Amino acid sequence: MRSDCNALQWISWFLSSKGNEYFCEVEEDYILDRFNLTGLNTEVANYSQALDLITDNLEDDDVQDELRGSLDVQARLLYGLIHARWIVTVRGLSKMLDKYKRADFGRCPRVFCQSQPLLPVGLTDVPYEKSVKLYCGRCEDIYSPKSSRHGSIDGAYFGTTFPHLMFLVYPHLIPPKANPSDPARGDGRAEDWAKGVRRRGSTREDEVVAEGAAEGLSTATAALKAERYRPKIFGFQVNEIAKLQRWQEAVRDKQIARLEELEYS
């Protein structure tokens, strides 16, 4: 069907295309097991033909002329949704682990994260809603990819669970949080750490506060509007991270209260 991939299987062609470096190869046995694809037929138009295209079982004669343009789009969607399921399996996690060790997804821009490798994550499991983000296991924040090609990838192709399940399965990979001015050390330098850790790179919190200031809102009010990223596994918040975030939010509330006192005094 596609002249530029006659010598390649569809999946090999897809993975070798520019902008698809985040994806790993889904094993054919996994794709051919229809149990693993349960429910995807309701999310992908022309599901059967898209699946045949991915598995190289589609003949040109089987495709109507008016479908040729959209079938490739549906095949990409189907492969992406299968990929999100595959990477939370044991074999899928292992393949993504290799990419993580090579830092294929980039490194955290924050200075105190010491070039921590990132992992792709979706903000929703529903396609066509949010693009992929990159999660840092050290600062536990998310970032947008540097490349516009990667920034246009649908976040549903990686899902909300993947990076947190990887750290759960491979706990030795969890990066240490301690550093010379880490607030977890309890040495009273939480404010210095909060300033220093953002010396490079901006987060969604920073952007919300900046937008609030531009709209004439007080810094405290803008900070209250900032949304935090909450790691979840299959919809449930990760226990240890949840405990840490409760402590972090208590510290933030104290800082906001101090800002309010300064702004209204």
For 167-203, what is each residue's pLDDT tens digit?
999 999 998 875 544 444 444 444 444 444 443 344 4
- Say which residue, 131 or 229, is predicted with more confidence: 131
Give the model's confidence band at 253: pLDDT under 50 very low, under 70 low, under 90 confident, else very high. Answer: confident
Domain membership flag for residue 151 = yes
Q: Are residues 193 and 160 in the same domain?
A: no
Nearest-angstrom CA–CA distance, 217 and 76 = 43
- pTM (2 decimals)? 0.72
Domain membership flag for residue 250 = yes
Q: Are residues 51 and 119 in the same domain?
A: no
The reported pLDDT for the residue numbered 65 is: 59
Q: Are residues 211 and 151 in the same domain?
A: no
Q: Are residues 192 and 236 in the same domain?
A: yes
Of 34, 35, 69, 39, the residue nearest 55 (C-alpha):
34
The reported pLDDT for the residue numbered 7 is: 42
For 87-124, what is each residue's pLDDT tens digit?
999 999 999 999 999 999 999 999 989 999 999 999 99
For 137-152, what is each residue's pLDDT tens digit?
998 899 999 999 999 9
Q: Are residues 192 and 259 in the same domain?
A: yes
Indicate if the pLDDT at residue 79 is higher than 90.
Answer: yes
Q: Are residues 108 and 75 in the same domain?
A: no
- C-beta of residue 163 within 8 angstroms of C-beta of residue 133: no
* Domain end point (choices 133, 149, 173): 173
Nearest-angstrom CA–CA distance, 189 and 176 = 18
* Domain end point (choices 19, 52, 86): 86
Domain membership flag for residue 19 = yes
The reported pLDDT for the residue numbered 93 is: 97
What integer is the mean pLDDT of 33-39? 94
Nearest-angstrom CA–CA distance, 61 and 230 = 48
The reported pLDDT for the residue numbered 249 is: 75
Mean pLDDT of the chain: 80
CATH number at residue 50: 1.10.1820.10
Distances, alpha carbon 227 to alpha carbons 28, 92, 208, 241, in Å: 40, 31, 8, 16
* Domain end point (choices 154, 173, 192): 173
**Minimum mean pLDDT range among 29-43, 202-216, 243-257:** 202-216
Q: Are residues 64 and 114 in the same domain?
A: no
The number of distinct structural domains making up the chain is: 3
CATH number at residue 143: 2.20.25.20
Q: Are residues 9 and 78 in the same domain?
A: yes
Domain membership flag for residue 178 = no
Domain membership flag for residue 92 = no
Give the model's confidence band at 240: pLDDT under 50 very low, under 70 low, under 90 confident, else very high. Answer: low
Query: Which structural domain, as residue segments, surrounds residue 70?
Result: 3-86
- Say which residue, 256 or 83, is predicted with more confidence: 83
Q: Are residues 218 and 151 in the same domain?
A: no
Q: Are residues 54 and 121 in the same domain?
A: no
Nearest-angstrom CA–CA distance, 33 and 150 = 29
Domain membership flag for residue 91 = no
Q: Are residues 236 and 163 in the same domain?
A: no
Q: Are residues 79 and 38 in the same domain?
A: yes
- Say which residue, 260 or 184, is predicted with more confidence: 260
